[in-house]
């Protein structure tokens, strides 16, 4: 064996595990332990967030497997309708094909081809990380049975009255030409301009009762600016009235509004002022004219208007602003949509038709200025929404959408988190979760895309519609309803990807179509879900809803929320910043094991991870340490004639190991994975390598006795097991070394059983703590006096405690390089002295002891101990303390007192001796 080179064996073991089908799970009599992967976007490539997330899942699943559970980790991807469709559209564009020229089926054919070619990349990358997923179960949200589940649940909810159609203001992405959810809108602060625009007031009172006001009695007219839909709720022509020639009784009479969006003035329906605003009482009941197009709109009153902001006059544009929309509904205003789906102005705008919204903004500013209607402009900063997928500025847009009612499902989904049926880790996310669930809005589930599950709604020529699984069933529905049709047309839109993935924990086991099947009964509910807090709401919460709805049971018991992986500067890792290392490069450089533990090290649940490559380096150093410890043991020759001199070391490590086992178990129980890793790390590096191996190590080229050798090998094997979930590759590689004897085909670390808990000799552990302190102080004496470690020293001990050092002399001599150890009854003059616990030790040196330095050191000790004792005494003499504190705490204080007094006595005696 040579140096530690993880790259040399990682692929080998991964293939072997696959070949032996160790990741495979089928229901059996064992207790199941199940994780479903948060399905990564099928277009995705592995990024650091996935690395962290999947490392955690793999640690959990490997540990469960080694604890005798039937571990099942279901992998897969989601179809990511927006992202995938965008990629396919881009690919087609490169080929000179426009989506518009394709039929739905043609387009989908290209999309599937694309998916087959690129869709599996991320899963292949996970294998490099060591992910022990049951790949035979790899699922895709558009697999036939998964899609069928989506359609069935859609119909089911529709029948329940929880799915409906409605006009809503949606976040429209004009580039992706799709509605996106609030969660997919990224708000950024942007420098803008505030345009101050004058609207002429229509002055004459006589006009007030005129024809133009009659619309207030009518139903509000709504224009859906969706040029892909035939369906509009009003006829556009009605919104293109003959422009009345403005008659201004007083040309100086105008009001000024402030807006960042002058291009939308053509869509204005009113000007709103605060009724309490004394500046504008003269405008009550008046009408004004929109500049450039001279359309007349009323001045309305509402306390919603902030008198402080802008001019106090608010242009109301119901079609293009959510707040204005609500205001418009309240005041029964016209809704005029002047934008096409691609962000260009439509006919309703009357001017600048066909021009992009941003170009139109610049142009209209000039036009307004020329018309004398632009009062001024000001710089202004505000938050603008951008599409997460395309980075286009989001356009609030009215659109006919499918919605899923949330209120009832949200209530149950909140209950199970509040009552602990589903635990969020860390718990602090409960508050956020509650806040969201209590303020939940209905879920907009339609997507204006083709890639995904097509909504099972069918329309006749009159746009009357029914919901049904097939065309035949739809026809039957029509007939049942007494509606006529000549031909039916299926809804073009697909449902939101989350409407597939909320079924994930159920549908991967085909639990919708066959709710009683063996797999779903065995694996569901799953155990742990590992995901990012940013999708707590729109994925986790909805999975809980779906679980309760279709299985009357939560989908998982625990939700482990990881943090966001950031760079050293705390910036989120992103492609655009280029601050994310390529995970596969990291694996190449540091080994998968090194990267895994590097990521885990400083990422407690729910906390962001400030990623630094140094962590991976640390990880691979640890691998190196284990490797070298192994080389040491492997190099030993055994001599059967030797007695075992290492009983203390052997017994001590066994106790330490068992102690650590409990700690690690406890850490896992609380999902403190980094703590569990650190406990393991310290056990291996400090206790095993630095102390145990040094204690038992035979002198150079000397053989070791059989007993120590065998025990050490079994310790090593136990350590490999403990390490395996964190570092699967190096542990498997070493597991198969001849050192451990012949291994059968199936005898692998990955399926070995975790060591069972054993006894802990706490007395021995605390004795060895003292021994370790003695060794450290002897080394320190050497170091302070610039003596070589090779130079052996003499050591005498004046024992005041009850510790029986006779057992430990050997260890002390070996590790502190002490040639002679003796017990003394009195202080040794002219020697360097130190204390360990309450015992005194002396190292005679052939040099002058600086009395003053020694005195100083003892004085310092004395000050410390006196202070310590004082604080302890203060507590113990405090009646309230003795009365209120728990008995074991009082007891502990008494022990502290006794110890401190003993130590202080020793220090004082030493000082007295020095004074002589």
Residue 785 interacts with RNA (CB under 7 A)?
Answer: no
SS (H, E, C) 55-88: HHHHHHHHHHHHCCCEEEEECEEECCHHHHHHHH
Shortest separation between residue 388's beta carbon and RNA, angstroms: 10
Stretch that binds RNA, among 212-220, 547-555, 597-605, 653-661 (CB under 7 A): 597-605
Out of 97, 689, 770, 824, point to the residue binding RNA (CB under 7 A): 689
Shortest separation between residue 381's beta carbon and RNA, angstroms: 12
In a 3-state reduction of DSSP, which class is residue 387? strand
In a 3-state reduction of DSSP, which class is residue 323? helix
Residue 609 interacts with RNA (CB under 7 A)?
Answer: yes
Stretch that binds RNA, among 7-15, 794-802, 831-839, 884-892 (CB under 7 A): 884-892
Residue 867 interacts with RNA (CB under 7 A)?
Answer: yes
CB nearer to RNA: pick between 531 and 674: 674
Nearest to 349 by CA among 297, 393, 290: 290
Shortest separation between residue 832's beta carbon and RNA, angstroms: 14
- CB 495: neighbour CB atoms within 10 A? 25
Total residues contacting RNA by CB under 7 A comes to: 73
Stretch that binds RNA, among 108-116, 298-306, 618-626, 734-742 (CB under 7 A): 618-626
Of 840-859, which residues contact RNA (CB under 7 A)?
none
**Residue 35 is inside which H or E element, if any?**
strand 32-36
Shortest separation between residue 17's beta carbon and RNA, angstroms: 23
User: Are 860 and 892 in contact, with CB atoms under 8 Å apart?
Assistant: no
Q: Which residues pair with 609 in a beta bridge?
A: 565
Out of 346, 602, 647, 761, point to the residue binding RNA (CB under 7 A): 602
d(CA 520, CA 551): 10
C-alpha dist (Å) from residue 109 to 91, 106, 139 = 13, 5, 20
Out of 329, 714, 753, 783, point to the residue binding RNA (CB under 7 A): 783
Out of 12, 30, 187, 469, point to the residue binding RNA (CB under 7 A): 187
CB nearer to RNA: pick between 144 and 700: 700
3-state helix, strand, coil in the chain (%, to 5): 45, 20, 35
Shortest separation between residue 22's beta carbon and RNA, angstroms: 27
Of 510-569, which residues contact RNA (CB under 7 A)?
534, 568
CB nearer to RNA: pick between 16 and 618: 618
Residue 436 interacts with RNA (CB under 7 A)?
Answer: yes
Q: Determine whether the annotation assigns residue 117 to a binding site.
A: no
Residue 625 interacts with RNA (CB under 7 A)?
Answer: yes
Q: Number of helices and strands (H, E) in the chain?
A: 27, 29
| Tokens, residue 19 | 């070949």
Shortest separation between residue 147's beta carbon and RNA, angstroms: 28
Residue 779 interacts with RNA (CB under 7 A)?
Answer: yes
d(CA 832, CA 847): 10
Out of 63, 127, 654, 875, point to the residue binding RNA (CB under 7 A): 875
Nearest to 134 by CA among 228, 256, 227, 21: 21
Shortest separation between residue 700's beta carbon and RNA, angstroms: 5
Kindly write down the DSSP assignment for every residue of 686-735, as one continuous string: IIIIIIIIHHHPPSTT--EEHHHHHHHHHHHHHHHHHHTTT-HHHHHHHH
d(CA 650, CA 288): 94
Binding mask 358-387 for RNA (x = CB under 7 A): -------------------------x----
Of 147-186, which residues contact RNA (CB under 7 A)?
182-183
Residue 884 interacts with RNA (CB under 7 A)?
Answer: yes
Contacts of 574 (CB under 8 A, 6+ apart): 580
C-alpha dist (Å) from residue 432 to 385, 417, 418, 440, 542 = 22, 12, 12, 12, 15
Stretch that binds RNA, among 18-26, 60-68, 278-286, 434-442 (CB under 7 A): 434-442
Question: Residue 87 — φ and ψ, nearest 5°?
Answer: -65, -40
CB nearer to RNA: pick between 369 and 686: 686
Question: Residue 243 — φ and ψ, nearest 5°?
Answer: -75, 125
Q: What angle is formed at CA 86 by the lines to CA 83 and CA 90, rounded to 5 degrees?
A: 140
Q: Which residues pair with 559 in a beta bridge?
A: 424, 529
Stretch that binds RNA, among 7-15, 301-309, 507-515, 861-869 (CB under 7 A): 861-869
How remote is the C-alpha of 552 from its chain's centroid? 27
d(CA 355, CA 343): 8
Stretch that binds RNA, among 230-238, 553-561, 653-661, 688-696 (CB under 7 A): 688-696
Question: What single-letter DSSP state applies at residue 393?
Answer: B
Binding mask 288-327 for RNA (x = CB under 7 A): ----------------------------------xx----
Stretch that binds RNA, among 13-21, 366-374, 411-419, 624-632 (CB under 7 A): 624-632
Nearest to 609 by CA among 188, 122, 61, 51: 51
Residue 862 interacts with RNA (CB under 7 A)?
Answer: no
Out of 473, 608, 613, 854, point to the residue binding RNA (CB under 7 A): 608
CB nearer to RNA: pick between 202 and 778: 778
Residue 632 interacts with RNA (CB under 7 A)?
Answer: yes
Residue 776 interacts with RNA (CB under 7 A)?
Answer: yes
Stretch that binds RNA, among 327-335, 598-606, 734-742, 850-858 (CB under 7 A): 598-606
CB nearer to RNA: pick between 201 and 676: 676
Residue 896 interacts with RNA (CB under 7 A)?
Answer: yes
Stretch that binds RNA, among 337-345, 472-480, 484-492, 614-622 (CB under 7 A): 614-622
Shortest separation between residue 106's beta carbon and RNA, angstroms: 36
d(CA 571, CA 607): 14
Out of 249, 294, 463, 628, point to the residue binding RNA (CB under 7 A): 628
Residue 907 interacts with RNA (CB under 7 A)?
Answer: no
Out of 472, 789, 823, 847, point to the residue binding RNA (CB under 7 A): 789
How remote is the C-alpha of 639 from its chain's centroid? 54
Residue 435 interacts with RNA (CB under 7 A)?
Answer: yes
User: Are 293 and 346 in contact, with CB atoms under 8 Å apart?
Assistant: no
Residue 651 interacts with RNA (CB under 7 A)?
Answer: no
Of 198-217, which residues contact RNA (CB under 7 A)?
none
User: Are 231 and 400 in contact, with CB atoms under 8 Å apart?
Assistant: yes
Could you tell me which residues are annotated as the binding site for ATP?
A: 575
Could you tell me which residues are annotated as the binding site?
A: 575
């Amino acid at each position: 064996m040579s140096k530690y080179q993880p790259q040399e064996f990682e692929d080998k073991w991964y293939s072997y595990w696959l070949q032996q089908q160790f990741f495979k799970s089928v229901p059996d009599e064992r207790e199941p332990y199940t994780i479903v992967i948060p399905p990564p976007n099928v277009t995705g490539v592995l990024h650091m967030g996935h690395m962290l997330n999947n490392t955690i899942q793999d640690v959990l699943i490997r540990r469960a497997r080694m604890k005798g559970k039937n571990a099942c980790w279901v992998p897969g991807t989601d179809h990511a309708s927006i992202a995938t469709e965008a990629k396919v559209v881009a690919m087609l564009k490169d080929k000179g094909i426009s989506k518009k020229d394709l039929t739905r089926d043609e387009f989908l054919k290209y999309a599937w081809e694309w998916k087959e070619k690129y869709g599996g990349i991320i899963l292949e990358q996970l294998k490099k990380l060591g992910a022990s997923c049951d790949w035979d179960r790899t699922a895709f949200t558009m697999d036939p049975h998964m899609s069928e589940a989506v359609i069935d649940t859609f119909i089911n909810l529709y029948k329940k009255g929880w799915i409906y159609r409605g006009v809503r203001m949606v976040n429209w992405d004009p580039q992706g030409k799709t509605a996106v959810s609030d969660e997919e809108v990224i708000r950024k602060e942007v420098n803008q301009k505030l345009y101050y625009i004058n609207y002429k007031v229509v002055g004459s009172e006589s006009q007030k009762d005129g024809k133009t006001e009659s619309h207030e009695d009518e139903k509000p007219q709504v224009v859906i600016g969706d040029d892909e839909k035939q369906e509009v709720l009003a006829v556009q022509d009605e919104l293109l009235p003959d422009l009345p020639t403005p008659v201004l009784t007083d040309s100086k009479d105008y009001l000024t509004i402030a807006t960042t969006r002058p291009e939308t003035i053509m869509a204005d329906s009113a000007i709103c002022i605060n009724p309490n605003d004394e500046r504008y009482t003269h405008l009550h009941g008046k009408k004004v004219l929109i500049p450039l197009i001279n359309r007349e709109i009323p001045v309305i009153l509402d306390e919603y208007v902030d008198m402080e902001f802008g001019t106090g006059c608010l242009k109301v544009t119901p079609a293009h602003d959510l707040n204005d929309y609500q205001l418009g509904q309240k005041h029964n205003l016209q809704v005029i949509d002047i934008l096409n789906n691609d962000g260009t102005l439509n006919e309703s705008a009357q001017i600048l038709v066909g021009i992009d919204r941003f170009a139109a903004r610049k142009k209209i500013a000039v036009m307004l200025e020329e018309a004398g209607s632009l009062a001024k402009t000001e710089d202004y900063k505000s938050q603008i929404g951008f599409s997460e997928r395309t980075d286009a500025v989001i356009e609030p847009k009215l659109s006919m959408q499918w919605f899923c009612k949330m209120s009832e499902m949200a209530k149950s989904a909140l209950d199970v988190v509040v009552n602990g049926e589903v635990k969020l880790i860390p718990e602090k996310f409960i508050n956020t979760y509650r806040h969201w669930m209590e303020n939940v809005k209905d879920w907009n589930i339609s997507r204006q895309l083709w890639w995904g599950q097509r909504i099972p709604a069918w329309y006749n020529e009159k746009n009357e519609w029914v919901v049904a699984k097939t065309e035949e069933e739809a026809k039957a529905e029509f007939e049942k309803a007494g509606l006529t049709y000549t031909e039916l047309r299926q809804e073009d839109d697909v449902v939101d990807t989350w409407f597939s993935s909320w079924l994930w924990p159920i549908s991967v086991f085909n639990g919708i179509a066959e709710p009683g099947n063996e797999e779903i009964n065995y694996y569901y509910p799953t155990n742990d879900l590992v995901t990012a807090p940013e999708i707590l709401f729109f994925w986790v919460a909805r999975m809980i809803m779906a679980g309760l709805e279709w299985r009357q049971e939560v989908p998982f018991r625990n939700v482990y929320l990881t943090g966001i992986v950031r760079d050293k500067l705390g910036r989120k890792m992103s492609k655009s910043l280029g601050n994310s290392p390529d995970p596969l490069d990291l694996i190449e450089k540091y080994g998968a094991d090194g990267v895994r533990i590097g990521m885990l090290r400083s990422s407690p649940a729910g906390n962001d991870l400030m990623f630094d490559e140094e962590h991976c380096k640390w990880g691979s150093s640890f691998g190196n340490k284990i490797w070298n410890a192994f080389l040491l043991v492997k190099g030993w020759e055994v001599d059967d004639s030797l007695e075992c001199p290492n009983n203390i070391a052997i017994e001590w490590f066994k106790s330490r190991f068992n102690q650590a086992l409990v700690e690690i178990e406890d850490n896992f129980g609380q999902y403190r994975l980094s703590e569990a890793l650190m406990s393991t790390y310290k056990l291996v590096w400090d206790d095993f390598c630095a102390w145990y191996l040094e204690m038992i190590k035979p002198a150079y080229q000397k053989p070791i006795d059989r007993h120590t050798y065998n025990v050490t090998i079994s310790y090593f094997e136990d350590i490999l097991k403990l390490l395996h979930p964190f570092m699967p590759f190096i542990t498997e590689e070493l597991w198969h070394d001849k050192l451990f004897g012949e291994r059968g085909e199936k005898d692998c670390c990955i399926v070995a059983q975790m060591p069972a808990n054993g006894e802990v000799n706490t007395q021995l552990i605390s004795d060895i703590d003292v021994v370790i302190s003695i060794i450290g102080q002897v080394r320190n004496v050497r170091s302070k006096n610039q003596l070589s470690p090779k130079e052996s020293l003499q050591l005498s001990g004046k024992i005041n405690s009850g510790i029986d050092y006779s057992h430990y002399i050997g260890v002390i001599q070996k590790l502190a390089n002490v040639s002679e150890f003796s017990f003394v009854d009195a202080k040794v003059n002219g020697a360097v002295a130190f204390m360990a616990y309450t015992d005194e030790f002396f190292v005679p040196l052939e040099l002058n002891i600086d009395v003053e330095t020694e005195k100083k050191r003892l004085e310092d000790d004395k000050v410390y101990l006196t202070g310590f004792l004082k604080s302890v005494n203060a507590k113990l003499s405090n009646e309230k303390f003795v009365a209120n504190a728990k008995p074991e705490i009082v007891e502990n204080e008494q022990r502290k007192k006794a110890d401190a007094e003993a130590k202080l006595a020793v220090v004082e005696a030493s000082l007295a001796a020095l004074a002589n």
